[in-house]
Amino acid sequence: MVFNTALCFVLAGGALLAPFSEADWYRRVTAVIGGALVFVAALVLAEHVLQKDLGIDWPSLHAWLHDSNATPGRMSVGTASGFLMSGAVLILATRVGRRGWALRCAC
């Protein structure tokens, strides 16, 4: 597991630990965490699409693993897409009304 994947898992877990008792605080916390997930995942996807190193891969943390990976430390496209969708759900889930049952089920 690369550093960015672990970071995104910690952020997503933090969103699950946020208490529901204070609705305004919960909405802000989940929006900030969701925004961070979207930001990291979008940067990783931009690296894949542009085939450029944007400096977020932390290759020095993965230097001990001597494999033939051309981009050490880069999250896979599928994982980044999953975290992008998770972040979007975290941002949108608290902003839907009763008719947004499909989005709430996605959470």
Buried-state track 42-71, b at ≥16 Cβ within 10 A, e below 16:
ebbbebeeeeeeeebbeeeebeeeeeeeee
Q: What is the pLDDT of residue 2?
A: 85
Per-residue pLDDT of the chain (107 residues; tens, 9 = 90+): 888 899 999 999 998 888 777 878 888 999 999 999 999 999 999 999 998 888 887 777 766 766 766 677 788 899 999 999 999 988 888 777 666 666 666 65
Q: What is the pLDDT of residue 102?
A: 67
Distance, CA of 41 to CA of 76 (rounded, Å): 10
Q: What is the pLDDT of residue 78?
A: 94
How do the domains of the chain map onto residue ranges?
3-106
Q: What is the pTM of this model?
A: 0.81
Q: What is the pLDDT of residue 69?
A: 67
